[in-house]
Amino acid sequence: MKNIAIFASGNGTNAQRITEYFSDNPNINVCLIITNNKDAFVLQRAKKLNIPSIYFNRRDFYETEKINDILKQNSVDLIVLAGFLWLIPLKLIKEFNGKIINIHPALLPKFGGKGMYGDKVHKAVIESCEKESGISIHFVNEKYDEGKIIFQKKIAIQSNDNLESLAKKIHQLEYKYFPQVIENMLND
């Protein structure tokens, strides 16, 4: 059995989608949903999905072994960042070398970096009059959105697209491709 831990800071629609995608898979399992935000809606989703969830604060994450220990105790094979806002500590990156991936709602290396999250990304893309956007799935290193890209998918931006319509299209791409990319990685 391959175990996935999902880190999410907010709504958690990707976390839900990934969990449901693997719910009937005998070999791949979402074993934990982890958040840095005790008010995140993803915690309610985890409860409904019957997946154990964990909240940690800044100190837990950057100054203790708490999260590392929990991941090891749960034999986690892959850490999936799905709308997670904090930088991953170097210690965790070393411990889970090549086993932490993130999804970003634009075509990296453009529109990435600190503070580029969710709608802020779409707003920047629209304001730059880009002709296309998309999703990027990449390995996580010690810098925001700079790890090696594993997968990208593009879509055209239409002249009548706005922040809301673009966000919706990007989410649809994420729901379709993110679980598949995870599955391919774990089946390799």
SS3 (DSSP) at 106: coil
Contact residues toward ligand GAR (CB under 6 A) are 8, 10-14, 82-83, 103-105, 116-118, 121, 171, 174
Helix (H) or strand (E) segment spanning residue 91 = helix 90-95
| Active-site residue, 122 included | no
Pairing of strands 100-104, 132-139: antiparallel
Least Å from the CB of residue 69 to ligand GAR: 26
Long-range Cβ contact pairs of 83-86 (< 8 A, separation 24 or more):
83/8, 83/9, 83/10, 83/11, 83/12, 83/14, 83/15, 83/42, 83/117, 83/118, 84/7, 84/8, 84/9, 84/36, 85/9, 85/10, 85/36, 85/37, 85/117, 86/9, 86/36, 86/58, 86/61
* Catalytic (active-site) positions: 104
